[in-house]
Structure 1
Amino acid sequence: MPVPAAGPADMIGTMKVLVIGATGTIGSAVAQALEASHEVVRASRRGPLRTDLEDPSSLDALLDGVPDLDAVVCCAASGPLVDLATVTDDAFVDGIQGKLLGQVALARRAVRHLRDGGSITLTGGTFTAPLAGGSLCALVNSGLAGFVRNAAGELPRRLRINLVSPGWIKETLEGMGEDGAPGTPVAEVARAYVDVVEGTMRGHVVRP
Protein backbone atom coordinates (compact mmCIF):
# COMPACT_ATOMS: atom_id res chain seq x y z
CA MET A 1 0.00 0.00 0.00
CA PRO A 2 1.20 3.58 -0.66
CA VAL A 3 2.69 5.35 2.32
CA PRO A 4 0.27 8.15 3.33
CA ALA A 5 1.42 11.73 3.27
CA ALA A 6 2.42 12.96 6.69
CA GLY A 7 1.13 16.50 6.40
CA PRO A 8 0.99 19.63 4.25
CA ALA A 9 3.44 20.21 1.43
CA ASP A 10 6.95 20.86 2.66
CA MET A 11 7.70 23.40 -0.04
CA ILE A 12 5.40 26.27 -0.96
CA GLY A 13 6.06 28.64 -3.82
CA THR A 14 8.80 28.39 -6.41
CA MET A 15 10.75 25.14 -6.56
CA LYS A 16 13.84 24.23 -8.56
CA VAL A 17 12.88 21.21 -10.67
CA LEU A 18 15.11 19.09 -12.89
CA VAL A 19 13.20 17.53 -15.80
CA ILE A 20 15.05 14.72 -17.59
CA GLY A 21 13.81 13.85 -21.06
CA ALA A 22 12.66 17.43 -21.56
CA THR A 23 12.80 17.29 -25.37
CA GLY A 24 10.27 14.44 -25.73
CA THR A 25 6.52 14.72 -26.18
CA ILE A 26 5.74 14.26 -22.50
CA GLY A 27 8.91 15.85 -21.13
CA SER A 28 8.56 19.10 -23.06
CA ALA A 29 4.92 19.41 -21.97
CA VAL A 30 5.82 18.70 -18.35
CA ALA A 31 8.66 21.24 -18.37
CA GLN A 32 6.40 23.88 -19.90
CA ALA A 33 3.64 23.23 -17.37
CA LEU A 34 6.04 23.42 -14.43
CA GLU A 35 7.62 26.62 -15.72
CA ALA A 36 4.38 28.46 -15.04
CA SER A 37 5.25 28.43 -11.31
CA HIS A 38 8.74 27.01 -10.86
CA GLU A 39 12.35 27.21 -12.00
CA VAL A 40 12.88 24.33 -14.42
CA VAL A 41 16.21 22.87 -15.52
CA ARG A 42 15.83 20.84 -18.71
CA ALA A 43 18.06 17.87 -19.49
CA SER A 44 18.01 15.23 -22.24
CA ARG A 45 20.26 13.02 -24.33
CA ARG A 46 20.47 15.61 -27.11
CA GLY A 47 20.02 18.98 -25.42
CA PRO A 48 22.46 21.59 -24.12
CA LEU A 49 22.39 19.83 -20.73
CA ARG A 50 22.96 16.18 -21.57
CA THR A 51 22.44 12.96 -19.68
CA ASP A 52 21.60 9.34 -20.46
CA LEU A 53 19.77 6.92 -18.16
CA GLU A 54 21.95 4.11 -19.48
CA ASP A 55 25.13 5.92 -18.42
CA PRO A 56 25.31 6.28 -14.61
CA SER A 57 28.34 8.57 -14.84
CA SER A 58 26.28 11.06 -16.85
CA LEU A 59 23.64 11.04 -14.08
CA ASP A 60 26.34 11.78 -11.51
CA ALA A 61 27.70 14.64 -13.60
CA LEU A 62 24.24 16.09 -14.15
CA LEU A 63 23.21 16.06 -10.50
CA ASP A 64 26.59 17.36 -9.34
CA GLY A 65 26.15 20.29 -11.72
CA VAL A 66 22.62 21.27 -10.68
CA PRO A 67 22.64 22.14 -6.95
CA ASP A 68 19.77 22.96 -4.60
CA LEU A 69 17.12 20.83 -6.26
CA ASP A 70 13.62 20.53 -4.85
CA ALA A 71 12.38 17.93 -7.35
CA VAL A 72 13.62 15.54 -10.02
CA VAL A 73 11.20 14.44 -12.74
CA CYS A 74 12.16 11.74 -15.24
CA CYS A 75 10.20 11.64 -18.50
CA ALA A 76 13.00 10.07 -20.54
CA ALA A 77 12.10 6.42 -20.13
CA SER A 78 10.99 4.31 -23.09
CA GLY A 79 10.96 0.59 -23.72
CA PRO A 80 10.92 -1.40 -26.96
CA LEU A 81 8.26 -3.81 -28.15
CA VAL A 82 9.77 -7.28 -28.55
CA ASP A 83 8.69 -10.66 -29.88
CA LEU A 84 8.65 -12.77 -26.73
CA ALA A 85 9.29 -15.97 -28.68
CA THR A 86 12.37 -14.74 -30.54
CA VAL A 87 13.95 -11.97 -28.45
CA THR A 88 17.42 -12.84 -27.18
CA ASP A 89 18.40 -12.78 -23.53
CA ASP A 90 20.82 -9.92 -24.20
CA ALA A 91 18.19 -7.85 -26.00
CA PHE A 92 15.72 -8.41 -23.16
CA VAL A 93 18.26 -7.26 -20.59
CA ASP A 94 19.14 -4.25 -22.74
CA GLY A 95 15.44 -3.32 -22.83
CA ILE A 96 15.28 -3.32 -19.04
CA GLN A 97 18.43 -1.26 -18.62
CA GLY A 98 17.23 2.25 -19.44
CA LYS A 99 13.61 2.47 -18.41
CA LEU A 100 13.82 0.34 -15.25
CA LEU A 101 17.38 0.18 -13.97
CA GLY A 102 18.24 3.63 -15.31
CA GLN A 103 15.37 5.25 -13.45
CA VAL A 104 16.24 3.32 -10.28
CA ALA A 105 19.83 4.57 -10.62
CA LEU A 106 18.55 8.12 -11.04
CA ALA A 107 16.30 7.86 -7.98
CA ARG A 108 19.11 6.49 -5.81
CA ARG A 109 21.36 9.38 -6.81
CA ALA A 110 18.66 12.01 -6.48
CA VAL A 111 18.23 11.10 -2.81
CA ARG A 112 21.73 12.48 -2.16
CA HIS A 113 21.10 15.76 -3.99
CA LEU A 114 17.55 16.84 -3.12
CA ARG A 115 16.73 19.32 -0.41
CA ASP A 116 14.81 18.02 2.61
CA GLY A 117 11.20 17.32 1.67
CA GLY A 118 12.04 17.08 -2.03
CA SER A 119 10.45 14.70 -4.53
CA ILE A 120 11.31 12.21 -7.26
CA THR A 121 8.81 11.46 -10.02
CA LEU A 122 9.49 8.56 -12.39
CA THR A 123 7.66 7.47 -15.55
CA GLY A 124 6.09 4.10 -16.25
CA GLY A 125 3.27 3.07 -18.54
CA THR A 126 -0.17 1.51 -18.54
CA PHE A 127 -1.71 -1.14 -20.81
CA THR A 128 -5.48 -1.41 -20.72
CA ALA A 129 -5.22 -4.84 -22.40
CA PRO A 130 -2.42 -7.24 -23.36
CA LEU A 131 -0.30 -5.67 -26.11
CA ALA A 132 1.47 -7.64 -28.81
CA GLY A 133 5.18 -7.34 -28.10
CA GLY A 134 4.50 -5.64 -24.76
CA SER A 135 5.72 -8.23 -22.26
CA LEU A 136 9.06 -6.47 -21.72
CA CYS A 137 7.33 -3.13 -21.12
CA ALA A 138 4.82 -4.77 -18.78
CA LEU A 139 7.67 -6.22 -16.74
CA VAL A 140 9.40 -2.85 -16.55
CA ASN A 141 6.21 -1.02 -15.58
CA SER A 142 5.41 -3.51 -12.83
CA GLY A 143 8.97 -3.33 -11.55
CA LEU A 144 8.84 0.46 -11.37
CA ALA A 145 5.53 0.39 -9.51
CA GLY A 146 6.87 -2.06 -6.94
CA PHE A 147 10.09 -0.12 -6.50
CA VAL A 148 8.30 3.19 -5.96
CA ARG A 149 5.78 1.79 -3.48
CA ASN A 150 8.50 0.27 -1.32
CA ALA A 151 11.12 3.00 -1.73
CA ALA A 152 8.59 5.57 -0.49
CA GLY A 153 8.84 4.00 2.95
CA GLU A 154 12.64 3.96 2.92
CA LEU A 155 13.55 7.47 1.83
CA PRO A 156 15.11 9.79 4.42
CA ARG A 157 14.54 13.48 5.14
CA ARG A 158 10.83 13.50 4.24
CA LEU A 159 11.68 12.85 0.59
CA ARG A 160 8.85 11.63 -1.63
CA ILE A 161 8.83 9.30 -4.65
CA ASN A 162 5.96 8.59 -7.05
CA LEU A 163 5.33 7.10 -10.47
CA VAL A 164 3.27 8.56 -13.30
CA SER A 165 2.10 5.81 -15.68
CA PRO A 166 0.23 7.19 -18.68
CA GLY A 167 -1.29 5.08 -21.39
CA TRP A 168 -1.24 6.10 -25.04
CA ILE A 169 -0.72 9.81 -25.66
CA LYS A 170 -3.09 11.46 -28.14
CA GLU A 171 -0.31 13.36 -29.90
CA THR A 172 1.89 10.26 -30.11
CA LEU A 173 -0.87 8.26 -31.78
CA GLU A 174 -1.49 11.07 -34.24
CA GLY A 175 2.24 11.25 -35.01
CA MET A 176 2.10 7.54 -35.87
CA GLY A 177 -0.75 8.19 -38.28
CA GLU A 178 -3.30 6.60 -35.94
CA ASP A 179 -6.57 7.89 -34.52
CA GLY A 180 -5.69 10.01 -31.49
CA ALA A 181 -9.12 9.71 -29.87
CA PRO A 182 -8.24 6.74 -27.60
CA GLY A 183 -5.21 8.60 -26.25
CA THR A 184 -4.87 11.11 -23.43
CA PRO A 185 -3.91 14.67 -24.45
CA VAL A 186 -0.33 15.41 -23.44
CA ALA A 187 -1.40 18.58 -21.60
CA GLU A 188 -3.59 16.44 -19.32
CA VAL A 189 -0.70 14.05 -18.69
CA ALA A 190 1.61 16.97 -17.91
CA ARG A 191 -0.91 18.27 -15.37
CA ALA A 192 -0.65 14.94 -13.53
CA TYR A 193 3.11 15.39 -13.18
CA VAL A 194 2.64 18.93 -11.84
CA ASP A 195 0.11 17.68 -9.30
CA VAL A 196 2.56 15.02 -8.10
CA VAL A 197 5.46 17.49 -7.80
CA GLU A 198 3.37 20.09 -5.98
CA GLY A 199 1.41 17.62 -3.85
CA THR A 200 2.07 15.46 -0.82
CA MET A 201 1.56 11.91 -2.11
CA ARG A 202 4.16 9.23 -1.46
CA GLY A 203 4.52 5.88 -3.14
CA HIS A 204 1.62 6.40 -5.52
CA VAL A 205 1.19 5.20 -9.09
CA VAL A 206 -0.75 7.90 -10.94
CA ARG A 207 -2.51 6.98 -14.17
CA PRO A 208 -3.68 10.13 -15.99
Structure 2
Amino acid sequence: MKILIIGGNGTIGKTVVSHFKTSHDIIIAGRTNADVTVNIEDSKSIQSMFEKTGPLDAIICIAGEAKWDNFNALTEDDYYIGIKSKLMGQVNLVRIGQHFLNNKGSITLSTGILADDPVIKTTSAAMVNGAIHSFVQAVALEIENNIRVNVVSSGMVEAAYDKYKDYFPGHNPIPMTKVVNGYARSVLGKGNGEIIRIYD
Protein backbone atom coordinates (compact mmCIF):
# COMPACT_ATOMS: atom_id res chain seq x y z
CA MET A 1 0.00 0.00 0.00
CA LYS A 2 1.04 3.58 -0.62
CA ILE A 3 0.37 5.46 2.62
CA LEU A 4 0.67 9.19 3.31
CA ILE A 5 1.34 10.01 6.97
CA ILE A 6 0.87 13.67 7.86
CA GLY A 7 2.80 14.43 11.04
CA GLY A 8 5.02 11.41 10.54
CA ASN A 9 7.96 13.07 12.30
CA GLY A 10 6.08 13.71 15.55
CA THR A 11 6.11 11.74 18.81
CA ILE A 12 3.38 9.34 17.72
CA GLY A 13 4.00 9.75 14.01
CA LYS A 14 7.53 8.34 14.10
CA THR A 15 6.33 5.14 15.73
CA VAL A 16 3.43 4.78 13.30
CA VAL A 17 5.82 5.28 10.37
CA SER A 18 8.19 2.63 11.74
CA HIS A 19 5.31 0.18 12.01
CA PHE A 20 3.94 0.63 8.50
CA LYS A 21 7.19 1.09 6.56
CA THR A 22 8.17 -2.56 7.04
CA SER A 23 5.44 -3.63 4.60
CA HIS A 24 4.22 -0.49 2.84
CA ASP A 25 5.42 2.48 0.80
CA ILE A 26 5.36 5.47 3.17
CA ILE A 27 5.32 9.18 2.33
CA ILE A 28 5.85 11.53 5.28
CA ALA A 29 4.24 14.97 5.15
CA GLY A 30 4.89 17.86 7.53
CA ARG A 31 5.73 21.53 7.78
CA THR A 32 9.48 20.86 7.44
CA ASN A 33 11.96 17.99 6.99
CA ALA A 34 9.46 15.75 5.22
CA ASP A 35 9.07 13.98 1.89
CA VAL A 36 6.40 16.55 1.02
CA THR A 37 5.61 19.75 2.90
CA VAL A 38 2.14 20.84 3.96
CA ASN A 39 0.40 23.36 6.16
CA ILE A 40 -2.93 21.74 7.03
CA GLU A 41 -4.40 25.14 7.93
CA ASP A 42 -4.23 26.05 4.23
CA SER A 43 -6.46 24.11 1.82
CA LYS A 44 -4.32 25.20 -1.13
CA SER A 45 -1.28 23.66 0.58
CA ILE A 46 -3.25 20.45 1.11
CA GLN A 47 -4.26 20.37 -2.57
CA SER A 48 -0.64 20.92 -3.62
CA MET A 49 0.54 18.12 -1.34
CA PHE A 50 -1.85 15.61 -2.88
CA GLU A 51 -0.92 16.68 -6.39
CA LYS A 52 2.68 15.82 -5.51
CA THR A 53 1.91 12.45 -3.90
CA GLY A 54 -0.41 11.24 -6.64
CA PRO A 55 -2.84 8.34 -6.02
CA LEU A 56 -2.78 6.82 -2.53
CA ASP A 57 -4.21 3.81 -0.75
CA ALA A 58 -4.36 5.36 2.72
CA ILE A 59 -4.04 8.74 4.42
CA ILE A 60 -3.15 9.07 8.10
CA CYS A 61 -3.17 12.43 9.87
CA ILE A 62 -1.38 12.77 13.20
CA ALA A 63 -1.20 16.55 13.16
CA GLY A 64 -3.09 19.61 14.31
CA GLU A 65 -2.92 22.16 17.09
CA ALA A 66 -5.31 23.68 19.63
CA LYS A 67 -4.76 26.32 22.33
CA TRP A 68 -4.58 25.16 25.94
CA ASP A 69 -5.49 27.78 28.53
CA ASN A 70 -7.97 28.57 31.28
CA PHE A 71 -11.48 29.10 29.94
CA ASN A 72 -11.65 32.73 31.07
CA ALA A 73 -8.34 33.46 29.38
CA LEU A 74 -9.27 32.02 25.98
CA THR A 75 -10.13 34.62 23.36
CA GLU A 76 -12.19 34.07 20.22
CA ASP A 77 -8.96 33.99 18.22
CA ASP A 78 -7.58 31.30 20.56
CA TYR A 79 -10.49 29.04 19.65
CA TYR A 80 -9.84 29.61 15.96
CA ILE A 81 -6.35 28.10 16.35
CA GLY A 82 -7.87 24.68 16.95
CA ILE A 83 -10.73 25.22 14.53
CA LYS A 84 -8.40 26.15 11.65
CA SER A 85 -5.69 23.60 12.45
CA LYS A 86 -6.90 20.39 14.06
CA LEU A 87 -10.56 20.61 13.01
CA MET A 88 -10.74 22.17 9.54
CA GLY A 89 -7.26 20.93 8.71
CA GLN A 90 -8.43 17.35 9.10
CA VAL A 91 -11.83 18.04 7.52
CA ASN A 92 -10.05 19.45 4.47
CA LEU A 93 -7.75 16.45 4.31
CA VAL A 94 -10.86 14.29 3.91
CA ARG A 95 -12.65 16.71 1.61
CA ILE A 96 -9.69 17.06 -0.75
CA GLY A 97 -7.87 13.79 -0.11
CA GLN A 98 -10.80 11.57 -1.13
CA HIS A 99 -10.12 12.51 -4.75
CA PHE A 100 -6.58 11.15 -4.54
CA LEU A 101 -7.47 7.83 -2.93
CA ASN A 102 -7.80 4.61 -4.84
CA ASN A 103 -11.07 2.69 -4.59
CA LYS A 104 -11.50 1.18 -1.10
CA GLY A 105 -8.88 3.55 0.30
CA SER A 106 -8.93 4.79 3.89
CA ILE A 107 -8.47 8.01 5.83
CA THR A 108 -7.49 7.98 9.51
CA LEU A 109 -7.71 11.16 11.58
CA SER A 110 -6.45 11.74 15.13
CA THR A 111 -8.00 13.22 18.26
CA GLY A 112 -7.60 12.30 21.91
CA ILE A 113 -9.17 11.47 25.24
CA LEU A 114 -10.16 15.11 25.84
CA ALA A 115 -13.23 14.57 23.66
CA ASP A 116 -14.63 12.21 26.31
CA ASP A 117 -12.67 13.05 29.45
CA PRO A 118 -11.51 16.69 29.40
CA VAL A 119 -9.21 18.21 31.98
CA ILE A 120 -8.64 21.84 32.95
CA LYS A 121 -7.33 24.24 30.30
CA THR A 122 -8.69 22.08 27.46
CA THR A 123 -12.02 23.73 26.62
CA SER A 124 -10.87 24.49 23.08
CA ALA A 125 -9.03 21.22 22.48
CA ALA A 126 -11.89 19.11 23.85
CA MET A 127 -14.38 20.99 21.66
CA VAL A 128 -12.32 20.35 18.52
CA ASN A 129 -11.80 16.66 19.31
CA GLY A 130 -15.51 16.13 19.88
CA ALA A 131 -16.32 17.88 16.61
CA ILE A 132 -13.99 15.56 14.69
CA HIS A 133 -15.69 12.52 16.24
CA SER A 134 -19.06 13.76 15.00
CA PHE A 135 -17.62 14.61 11.59
CA VAL A 136 -16.14 11.15 11.08
CA GLN A 137 -19.40 9.43 11.96
CA ALA A 138 -21.34 11.66 9.58
CA VAL A 139 -18.96 11.70 6.61
CA ALA A 140 -18.70 7.91 6.64
CA LEU A 141 -22.38 7.82 5.62
CA GLU A 142 -21.76 9.82 2.46
CA ILE A 143 -18.17 9.48 1.23
CA GLU A 144 -17.96 7.69 -2.13
CA ASN A 145 -15.74 5.09 -3.86
CA ASN A 146 -15.87 2.71 -0.88
CA ILE A 147 -13.53 4.98 1.07
CA ARG A 148 -13.44 4.44 4.82
CA VAL A 149 -12.93 7.25 7.35
CA ASN A 150 -12.05 6.57 10.99
CA VAL A 151 -10.45 8.43 13.87
CA VAL A 152 -7.96 7.22 16.47
CA SER A 153 -8.55 8.80 19.87
CA SER A 154 -5.75 8.10 22.32
CA GLY A 155 -5.10 8.86 25.94
CA MET A 156 -1.82 10.43 27.03
CA VAL A 157 0.94 8.33 25.48
CA GLU A 158 3.90 7.12 27.50
CA ALA A 159 6.34 9.17 25.42
CA ALA A 160 4.56 12.38 26.45
CA TYR A 161 3.96 11.44 30.09
CA ASP A 162 6.68 13.61 31.64
CA LYS A 163 5.56 16.65 29.65
CA TYR A 164 1.82 16.38 30.35
CA LYS A 165 1.46 14.35 33.57
CA ASP A 166 0.56 17.41 35.66
CA TYR A 167 -2.42 18.06 33.38
CA PHE A 168 -3.68 14.47 33.64
CA PRO A 169 -3.61 13.47 37.32
CA GLY A 170 -4.50 9.83 37.77
CA HIS A 171 -4.51 9.04 34.06
CA ASN A 172 -2.68 5.91 32.94
CA PRO A 173 -0.09 6.54 30.21
CA ILE A 174 -0.84 4.54 27.07
CA PRO A 175 1.88 2.25 25.65
CA MET A 176 2.82 3.32 22.12
CA THR A 177 2.21 -0.22 20.85
CA LYS A 178 -1.49 0.14 21.72
CA VAL A 179 -1.70 3.45 19.90
CA VAL A 180 0.00 2.02 16.81
CA ASN A 181 -2.47 -0.87 16.85
CA GLY A 182 -5.29 1.67 16.66
CA TYR A 183 -3.89 3.07 13.43
CA ALA A 184 -3.29 -0.44 12.08
CA ARG A 185 -6.91 -1.34 12.83
CA SER A 186 -8.14 1.72 10.97
CA VAL A 187 -5.93 1.28 7.90
CA LEU A 188 -5.93 -2.50 7.56
CA GLY A 189 -9.38 -3.33 8.95
CA LYS A 190 -12.82 -2.89 7.46
CA GLY A 191 -14.32 -0.43 9.93
CA ASN A 192 -15.87 2.82 8.74
CA GLY A 193 -17.02 5.81 10.77
CA GLU A 194 -15.35 4.37 13.86
CA ILE A 195 -13.96 6.25 16.84
CA ILE A 196 -11.12 3.97 17.88
CA ARG A 197 -10.65 4.82 21.55
CA ILE A 198 -7.43 3.84 23.28
CA TYR A 199 -7.81 5.10 26.81
CA ASP A 200 -6.35 2.34 29.01
- TM exceeding 0.5: yes
Structure number having the greater strand percentage: 2
Segments of 4+ moved more than 4 angstroms: 175-181
Identity %: 31
Counterpart position of 1:6: none
Report the counterpart of residue 51 of structure 1 in structure 2. Answer: 38
Question: For structure 2, which runs of at least 5 residues remain unmatched after alignment?
Answer: none
Could you tell me how far 1:180 is from its partner in structure 2? 11
1:119 corresponds in structure 2 to 106
| Match in the other structure for 2:119 | 131
The alignment of Structure 1 onto Structure 2 pairs a total of residues equal to 194
Counterpart-to-counterpart distance in 2, 1:170 and 1:26 = 10
Q: Residue 149 of structure 2 corresponds to which residue in structure 1?
A: 161
Residues 134/65 of structure 1: CA separation in 2 closer, same or farther (3 Å cut): same
Q: Which residue of 1 aligns with 2:14?
A: 28
Does residue 63 in structure 1 map to residue 53 in structure 2?
A: no
Quote the offset at 1:68 in angstroms: 2.1
Aligned counterpart, 2:191: 201
**What is the aligned partner in structure 2 of residue 191 from structure 1?**
181
Query: What is the CA deviation profile of residues 87-138 of structure 1, one whole-angstrom value per residue up to 9, with x for unaligned ones?
Result: 1112212222100011001110111110011000000111364411111111
Amino acid at match of 1:162: N
Asked if structure 2 preserves the Cα contact closer than 8 Å seen for 1:18 and 1:72, the reply is yes
Provide the rounded CA distance (Å) in 1 between the counterparts of 2:62 and 2:125.
15
Q: Is the 8 A contact 2:64 2:82 kept in 1?
A: no
Matched, 1:173 2:170: no
1:37-48 → structure 2 map (5 Å cutoff): 37-48=23-34
Give TM-score, length-normalised by structure 2: 0.91
Q: Which amino acid aligns with 1:153?
A: L
Q: 2:60 aligns with which of 55, 73, 96?
A: 73
| 2:4 is the alignment partner of 1:18 | yes
The separation in 2 between residues aligned to 1:77 and 1:188, in whole angstroms, is 21
Number of the residue aligned with 1:182: 172
Q: Which amino acid aligns with 2:17?
A: A
Distance 1:23 1:185 in 2: 18
Counterpart of 2:132 (choices 123, 128, 144) is 144
How far apart, CA to CA, are the structure 1 residues paired with 2:37 and 2:161?
27
List alignment gaps of at least 5 residues for structure 1.
1-14
- CA apart distance, 1:72: 0.4
Partners of 2:29 and 2:170 lie apart in 1 by 28
